Amino acid sequence: MKKISHYIIFYFIIVLFLSGISYAQSPIQGKVVGVADGDTITVLQDSKQYKIRLYGIDTPEKKQGFGQKAKKFTSDMVFRQQVKIVAYDTDRYGRTVGMVYIGKKCLNEELIKNGYAWVYKKYCSESFCNRWLQLERKARVNKLGLWTYDNPVAPWDFRRGKSNKSKDKIPGEYHGNVSSKVFHESDCKYFNCKKCTKIFQNRDSAVNAGYRPCGICKP
């Protein structure tokens, strides 16, 4: 009897193991129906939605300089498009962590190449992560995206409250509130307000358009 029980337990272990392999080898394929930020999207497959956190990278938070631009880059590339997700893990929020492919392009890699993401070294352990670090260095040297300023604050530091205003500005960009006609610098807490949709490349453009400077950030 004990021998039979051992065989049954062994059988279930094998089934669970093979199920895990099957899951890992079965990519999610569907339409992107939501973009929360630069590194988090929602994919619809067979009437089921999957929250996807991009593997191995970290884009600026939405309230950081380039946070909205990273989100726009991701949205422009994959929103309402058919994508394939190769899953690596599930995070503590229940999101699938994986690689996002649209055709032959990998969204994770494109964000790094264009200067909209850091390689998240703490959570990037695959062999290709070294190549990603080279792409990040190249984007930094060429001052692409967030690397237009010398020492941008990494999002993991920003989340811990280590933001540095002088280092977290987008050079030469201001957002104007179309309702109040007030414009803000990129490190202002109102920079990405709901009605701050008017973008100016310099201060004079904002003033000439009839906007007045914010009394808090004093641009």
Whichever domain contains 35, its CATH number is 2.40.50.90
Confidence band (pLDDT; 50, 70, 90) for 70?
Answer: very high
Do both 141 and 67 map to the same domain?
yes
Do both 181 and 136 map to the same domain?
no
- Residue 185 designated active-site: no
The backbone torsions φ and ψ at residue 156, rounded to the nearest 5 degrees and listed phi first, read -65, -30
Neighbouring-strand partners of residue 30: 83
Q: 111 lies in which domain range?
A: 27-147
Closest by CA to 30, choosing from 80, 91, 94, is 80
pLDDT tens-digit map of 137-159? 999 999 999 998 777 888 998 88
35 falls within a domain = yes
Structural domain total, the chain:
2
Give the pairing type, strands 96-102 and 82-90: antiparallel
Count Cβ neighbours within 10 Å for each residue of 11-31 and write b for 16 or more, e otherwise: eeeeeeeeeeeeeeeeebebe
Do both 123 and 204 map to the same domain?
no
pLDDT tens-digit map of 172-211? 578 899 999 999 887 777 887 888 888 887 888 889 999 9
- Residue 212 designated active-site: no
Do both 96 and 176 map to the same domain?
no
Amino acid at 27: P
Catalytic residue among 53, 109, 110, 185: 53
118 falls within a domain = yes
- Residue 95 designated active-site: yes
Do both 139 and 186 map to the same domain?
no
pLDDT tens-digit map of 3-31? 555 555 545 444 444 444 334 457 899 99
Do both 105 and 200 map to the same domain?
no
Do both 31 and 139 map to the same domain?
yes
